[in-house]
Amino acid sequence: MSNKKATNEYQAKYAIIGNSAGAVGCVEGIRRVDKEGDIILLAAEPYHTYSRPLISYLLLGRTDEQRMKYRPDDFYSANGVQTLLGAENEVLEIDAAEKRLRLADGSTVLYEKLLAATGSLPFVPPTKGLDTVANCFSFMSLDDAQALAAAISPESRVLVVGAGLIGLKCVEGIAERVKQVTVVDLADRILSSILNAEAAEVVQRYLESRGIQFILGDCVKEFKPNMAMLQNSGQQLEFDVLVMAVGVRPNTALLTAAGAEAERGVLVDEHCRTSLPDVFAAGDCTQGYDVVSGERRILALLPNAYMQGDCAGANMAGQAEVYKNGLALNSIGFWGLHIMSAGVYQGEALVESDAQHYKCLFVQDGRLNGFILVGDVARAGIYTNLVRTRQPLDEVDWPLLQVKPQLMAFRPAERAQKLAARPAASSDLEQQKGDKA
Amino acid sequence: MKRVYVQEQWCLGCHLCEYACAFANSGQEQPGAGGLDMSRALQGRAINPRIKIEEKDNISFAVSCRHCEDPVCQKSCIAGAISVKDGMVHIDQNKCVGCYTCVLVCPYGAVMPAESGQVMQKCELCTERLNGGTPACVAACPNRAIVFEER
Amino acid sequence: MSVDFFYPEYEIVRDQNRCISCRVCERQCANCVHAFDEASGKMYADDSKCVNCHRCVSLCPTRALKIVKSGNTFKTNSNWTNDYMKEIYRQANSGGVLLSSMGNPADFPVYWDKILINASQVTNPSIDPLREPMETRTFLGKKPAKIERDCDGNIITKMEPNLELALPVLFGGMSYGAISYNAHASLAQAAKSCGTFYNTGEGGLHKDFYQYGTNTIVQVASGRFGVYKDYLNAGAAIEIKIGQGAKPGIGGHLPGLKIVGDISQTRMIPQGTDAISPAPHHDIYSIEDLHQLVYSLKEATDYQKPIIVKIAAVHNVAAIASGVARSGADIIAIDGFRGGTGAAPTRIRDNVGIPIELALASVDQRLRDEGIRGNISVICGGSIRNSTDVVKAIALGADAVYIATAALLAMGCHLCRSCHTGNCNWGIATQKPELVKRLNPEIATQRLINLLNAWEHEITEIMGGMGINSIEALRGNRLMLRGIGLTEKELEILGIKHAGE
C-alpha cells in the first residue's frame, strides 16, 4: 500500500472495482477459499467501505460516520487487501483480453480475476432549468448526504422529486430538520416499485400524518432557481432545497465498454460471471437470476449485492459456487411504521388490512411468489424463506401461515430439522449449497 | 460449538424460558437474590424476550437464534452490524439502525426489535451476561426441552 | 339442593411483591387452580381445586407461592376428627366408596424408625468402603441346600435360575396405565443402568420396552392383562401378583375411559372396555393351585426364569409365605400396608394389612424354623423410604427390597395422593399426553440412577460401620439391630433386642 508514485503498475491475483457490499462480499468470498492470494480493491470514493443505505439514518442521527462503516476499520488490512481509494484510482477502462485495468491517474492494474461492483448511478431526467437550481442534490452517497445536511435549515422548504425508496428515506432523514417537505412523483402512488396501490395508500396516509405533502401523478416541467413548475396541474412550488431522487440506473458503462453482455444491467450467470473471461460482477450493476421468475433481473439491493459478491469471490478463488436464489427484498421504515416486500407480485393476492396494517400474499401454482407487509412485520423471514426456497404450500399448514408467519405451520419433522438439528446454514441457503454438486 | 437446541416433544409451553431470557437481559440479575431480583426486574412489565414460544393445541416449542453457520441475516445486514464470531452470530446494537432487514430474511423468525424499536435483538447465548455459562433459557427449562450442547 | 361445601384443605399464599404474573402456575396446573385477571394484571387462585402437588410452587420463578394448611376447622373432637366428618359429608353426598391413592398415611407405628443399627468399635473394626471392597451384589432365587455330585464325583454346578442384582433394591410393580409411558421408560432405563430390575405391574409390557427385558420383571395378575408367551419370555423373571399392600383382598378397576391407544394394546383388551382385575385369581384357591400356575409359567419359559409370588402383608402372612415357598416359587415378595397404589378404597388402604417390618420378621423366622429359607428369596416392599430402611430390612431377613413410592418421588411425585384423578401434574400418574410429556425420561432416569447410587454409597458406609463387607453377611443378621420404645411382644416378633441389651 505504500509504493505510491505518479503512476504505478499494480499486479494482483484478484482485482475488485467498488467498495460497497458487493466488493466486501467478494473479499469475504475469496478469503473463505483462498487465504493468501493478493487482492487489490479500487474505488473512486475516498472513504472506508460504508453502508450507502445508511445515509438517511445519518441525517436522522441514528448513526454516524464511524458507526456506518460497513466493516471495521481494519477489515481490509486484516484480509490482506490493498486498497486504492480516491478519484485518481477510478477505473477508466477494463481490458479483458490483457486482463488489465487503466486508472484515472494512468496507473495500470494487472489481474487474474476481476470483480466489477460498480453499483448504480442516480438517474436525473433532463429537465429544463435544473441547472439553475443552486441547492440541488442527489441522495446516493455520503457526500450527497453531507452536502444536503449542510444545505438545510429549520426554515428550509424542501422539494423531493421521486417518492421511491431513496426519496422517502431522504424525507424521513430530513423532515424533522426542515420547515416543510413536499414530494412529487409521476407515479400515482408512493413507493411504486415495491408497493401496490392499497399498501401505498396506508403508508402515504401515515407519512401525511407526519406532515409530509405529496403531489402524485405529476412531474416537474421546468425549474427556476427556487421554483418548480408542474407538468399536469400547472402548480408552482416554491422551494429552498431540491432533492432529485427519481431513480437509479445500473452503472454498466465500464463493463459494456469492455464488451460485456448487458441488457439494462450486466448479465451474470449463476456463478456471477459476466460474458468476459475471468470478469465477475456483483450488485446493482448486474442482472442476475431471480429465484421466483427464474429470469435475470436487476435486484438493486444490498443483501443481493453482498451475496453475489460472496459467490463471485468464491468462484474467483476456484470454488464452484452457485447463487441463483436472489430475490427482490425490501425492508423500509418511516418513524416506526415498517414496510416489507419480497419476491414478485404475481398470482392470487390474499389481502388482510385495516387502517394501520396491510398484508398481501401473492400465491401462484401452490407457491408463495411474494408479499407486501405494512405495519406488522414480525417474523416476515419465514415468508421470505417460503418465497426463496419455492417450497410448495401443500407441504405446510398454509391457512396457519396466512394468519401469521410461524414455524408451527411446518411438519413436525421439518420443525425438528429447523430447531433441533445442527444448522449448517440458514435453510434458505441450503438450496444454493445443494446446487453446488 | 455449543448451541441452543429445542426438542419440542419435551416443551411444556410453560414460558419460563421467556421470562428467564427477559431477566437475563434486564441487567438486573443479582447473584443469590433468590428470585427477588427477578421480581424487581420484571414486575408490572411486558417482557420482550429473545426466545419465544410458539404454541397451538398441545404442541409448543421455543424459537431463538439458531446461530447459522452461514447466516443470511449477517449477509443481508445493510449496516454491517451482524457478525459471526467463534460461531456465534452477534448483532452490534451500536451499529444497528433498525432497518429490520434481518427480520425480513431470518427463516426462523428469530430476530426481533429491542424494546426501543430502533435496534434489533436476538439470542446472543447469554454471552453478554455477567456470568455467561449456560444460557438462562436452558437453565430455566424444567424439562430439558431446551439444551445447550455441541452437536 | 343440599349444602355441599368443603372449605379447602389447603390455601395458596401468593406473595404479590414477588409475583410477576408470568402465568407459569396457571399453565402448569391441570386442576385449573390459577387464573390471570386481565383487568388487574394479577394472578388469582381457587384453593378449592388445589391438590397440593407443588407443581406451581416448584416452577414459580420468583418463589412467590407457597401452600399452607388451611386453618379452617370444625369444633375440635378427637373422635370425630375433621377428616372423618368430611368423609361422612362426602359419602352422604355421593353414595360412593371413598377412593384414595398412594400408601396408608395414617398414624400407625413405623417400626423402621424404632429400630437402631449397630456399629463396630475397637474389636471387629469397621471397614472403610472407600478402601476395601464392598459386595452389594445379591442373587434372588432358590439356593442349593447341599453340594451334589454326579456319578463321576464332579460337583453339579447347575443352579436354579437366579436374578443378579448389583444392589439389593428393585423397582416395584407399577402398571403402564397407572403410571405413564415416560415413567415406565425412566424406570426401565434406570434399572438397566444400575444393574437391577423394574416391574411391569399388571398392565402388560409396551412393545417399546421389550428391549429392557433383561432388567424387567413381568407380572401376571388376576386380570391376566397383556399376558402371552412373548411377554412371559420377555422378562428376566415372572411375578404372580396375589395381593398388594395398599389394598389386600381387593381387585383393581381401570375405567374404560383410560383404556385407549397403547394402553389397550399393551393390556390386550379392546379400547374403552373396563380393565377389571378380580380380587382373587380365579384359578387359585389353594397352594396346589398356585403350584400349578408357578409350574405353568416355568414350563412356558423353559424353566429359565425365576417365579416371584407377591402377596400383601396380612395377619397370617408367615403361614402363607410357608405355603408359597412350597409352591415351587423362587422368590416371595411381601408388600406391607404402607405400599402405594394408583387408586384404592380409602377404608381398605387405611385399615387392612399389617406393617412390613413385622411381616418380614415373622416370615423370615417361619421359613428358617421350617428349614426352607434357602428354597426361596424374600423381597419386601411397602414403604422403604431410605437406605437405612434397606439395611434394616435386610438385617431383618429380606434378600432385597422393592421401592416404588421412593422411585416416584425421585421422578418428581410430591405425594399429593391424587393419582386416581388422572391429572398428575408431574406427568407420572396420568395418560394425558400434555401431562405425560412433563416427565422427560432423560431427567427422570438420571434422578433414579442418582437415588440408587446415593443409597448404595450409604448402604456400603453403614455396612462398613458394622464391620460387614457384603449383603450376604448382613442378611438376617438381627444382632445388628436394636429396638427402641418397643414392647416385649414387638421385640419378640421382630426378633431383636431392645437398645441397651
CB contact B141 to C (< 8 Å): no
Residue A359 sits in the same domain as residue A267: no
Residue A428 pLDDT class (50, 70, 90 cuts): very low
Per residue in C174-198, pLDDT (tens digit) is 999 889 999 999 999 999 999 999 9
Helix axes C287-300, C317-325, angle to 10 degrees: 40
Residue A435 pLDDT class (50, 70, 90 cuts): very low
Mean pLDDT, chain A, integer: 92
Find, in chain B, the residue whose alpha carbon is nearest to that of A72: B80
- Contact check, Cβ <8 Å, B5/A380: no
Mean pLDDT for C303-327 is 97
Q: What are the beta bridge partners of residue A342?
A: A329, A371
B57 pLDDT higher than 80? yes
Of the two residues C254 and B20, the one the predictor is more confident about is B20
- Contact check, Cβ <8 Å, C438/B12: yes
Facing B6 at nearest CB: one of A412, A420, A433: A420
pLDDT at residue A163 in the model: 96
Which of the listed residues A233, A248, A263 is the one where a domain comes to its end? A248
- Contact check, Cβ <8 Å, A377/B78: no
Calculate how close chain A gets to B96, using CA atoms only, in Å.
Answer: 8
Residue B34 pLDDT class (50, 70, 90 cuts): low
The DSSP bridge pattern shows strands B112-113 and B120-121 to be antiparallel
Structural domain includes residue A262 = yes
Mean pLDDT for C354-361 is 98
CB contact A378 to B (< 8 Å): yes
CB contact B98 to A (< 8 Å): yes
Of the two residues B143 and B2, the one the predictor is more confident about is B143
Residue A425 pLDDT class (50, 70, 90 cuts): low
Structural domain includes residue A3 = no
DSSP A48: P
Q: What are phi and psi of B106, to 5 degrees?
A: -70, 120
Residue A45 sits in the same domain as residue A193: no
Per residue in C383-419, pLDDT (tens digit) is 999 999 999 999 999 999 999 999 999 999 999 999 9
C429 pLDDT higher than 50? yes
Find, in chain B, the residue whose alpha carbon is nearest to that of C22: B19
DSSP C149: B
CB contact A413 to B (< 8 Å): no
C256 pLDDT higher than 90? no
Residue A7 pLDDT class (50, 70, 90 cuts): confident
Structural domain includes residue A429 = no
Q: What domains are defined for chain C?
A: 10-96 (3.30.70.20), 116-498 (3.20.20.70)
Neighbours of chain B (3+ CB pairs under 8 A): A, C
Structural domain includes residue A169 = yes
Find, in chain B, the residue whose alpha carbon is nearest to that of C18: B39
Residue A224 sits in the same domain as residue A262: no
pLDDT at residue A427 in the model: 41
- Contact check, Cβ <8 Å, C27/B15: yes
Cα(C256)–Cα(C264) distance, rounded to whole angstroms? 9
Structural domain includes residue A4 = no
| Selection from A199, A172, A173, A10 nearest residue A91 by Cα | A10
Cα(C64)–Cα(C69) distance, rounded to whole angstroms? 17
- Show the domain range for A259: 9-119+251-316
Cα(B42)–Cα(C60) distance, rounded to whole angstroms? 14
Per residue in A103-129, pLDDT (tens digit) is 999 999 999 999 999 999 999 889 999
Residues in chain B with CB shorter than 8 Å from the CB of C441 are: none
Residue type, C170: L
CB contact B52 to C (< 8 Å): no
A316 pLDDT higher than 80? yes
Per residue in A219-238, pLDDT (tens digit) is 999 999 999 999 999 999 99
pLDDT at residue C342 in the model: 86
pLDDT at residue A219 in the model: 93
C9 pLDDT higher than 50? yes
pLDDT at residue A424 in the model: 57
| Selection from C395, C358, C383, C413 nearest residue C474 by Cα | C395
List, as one string, the DSSP characters of A249-269: EE--HHHHHTT--BSSSEE--
Residue A5 pLDDT class (50, 70, 90 cuts): low
User: Of C60-74, C185-199, C317-331, C441-455, which gets the smallest average pLDDT?
Assistant: C60-74
Instruction: Give whole-number Cα distances, A178 to A152, A211, A246, A278, C365, in Å.
Output: 7, 11, 21, 49, 103
Question: What is B67-122's CATH topology?
Answer: Alpha-Beta Plaits (3.30.70)
A26 pLDDT higher than 70? yes
Mean pLDDT for C288-316 is 97
Residue A127 sits in the same domain as residue A226: yes
C212 pLDDT higher than 70? yes
Calculate how close chain B gets to C24, using CA atoms only, in Å.
Answer: 5
pLDDT at residue A355 in the model: 79
Structural domain includes residue A330 = no
- Contact check, Cβ <8 Å, B69/A423: yes
Residues in chain C with CB shorter than 8 Å from the CB of B144 are: 440, 442-443
* Chain pair A-B, CB pairs under 8 angstroms: 155
Per residue in A357-411, pLDDT (tens digit) is 999 999 999 999 999 999 999 999 999 999 999 999 999 999 999 999 999 999 9
CB contact A142 to B (< 8 Å): no
pTM of the model: 0.92
DSSP A97: T
Cα(B8)–Cα(C437) distance, rounded to whole angstroms? 10
pLDDT at residue B132 in the model: 60
Mean pLDDT, chain C, integer: 94
The DSSP bridge pattern shows strands A367-374 and A358-364 to be antiparallel
What total of structural domains would you count in chain A?
Answer: 3
Q: What are phi and psi of A246, to 5 degrees?
A: -75, -35
Residues in chain B with CB shorter than 8 Å from the CB of C433 are: 58
pLDDT at residue A187 in the model: 95
CATH number of the domain enclosing A360: 3.30.390.30
CB contact B58 to C (< 8 Å): yes
| Selection from C270, C268, C269, C271 nearest residue C260 by Cα | C271
DSSP A79: T
Q: Are the C-beta atoms of A178 and A152 separated by less than 8 Å?
A: yes
- Contact check, Cβ <8 Å, A429/B72: yes
- Contact check, Cβ <8 Å, B105/A377: no
CB contact B151 to A (< 8 Å): yes
Residue A68 sits in the same domain as residue A141: no
**ipTM, 2 decimals?**
0.95
Q: Are the C-beta atoms of C84 and C75 separated by less than 8 Å?
A: no
A1 pLDDT higher than 80? no
CATH number of the domain enclosing A133: 3.50.50.60
Residue B129 pLDDT class (50, 70, 90 cuts): confident
Residue C145 pLDDT class (50, 70, 90 cuts): confident
pLDDT at residue C253 in the model: 81
Q: Which residue in A70, A329, A331 has the most chain B C-beta atoms within 10 A of its own C-beta, making it the best mutation to test that interface?
A: A331
pLDDT at residue A329 in the model: 95
Residue B130 pLDDT class (50, 70, 90 cuts): low
Mean pLDDT for C50-66 is 95
Find, in chain A, the residue whose alpha carbon is nearest to that of B54: A408
Structural domain includes residue A437 = no
Residue A351 sits in the same domain as residue A383: yes
- Contact check, Cβ <8 Å, A303/B76: yes
Of the two residues A434 and C13, the one the predictor is more confident about is C13
Helix (H, G, I), strand (E, B) or coil at C168: coil
- Contact check, Cβ <8 Å, C20/B19: yes
Do C and A count as touching (3 or more CB pairs closer than 8 A)?
A: no
- Contact check, Cβ <8 Å, A426/B6: no
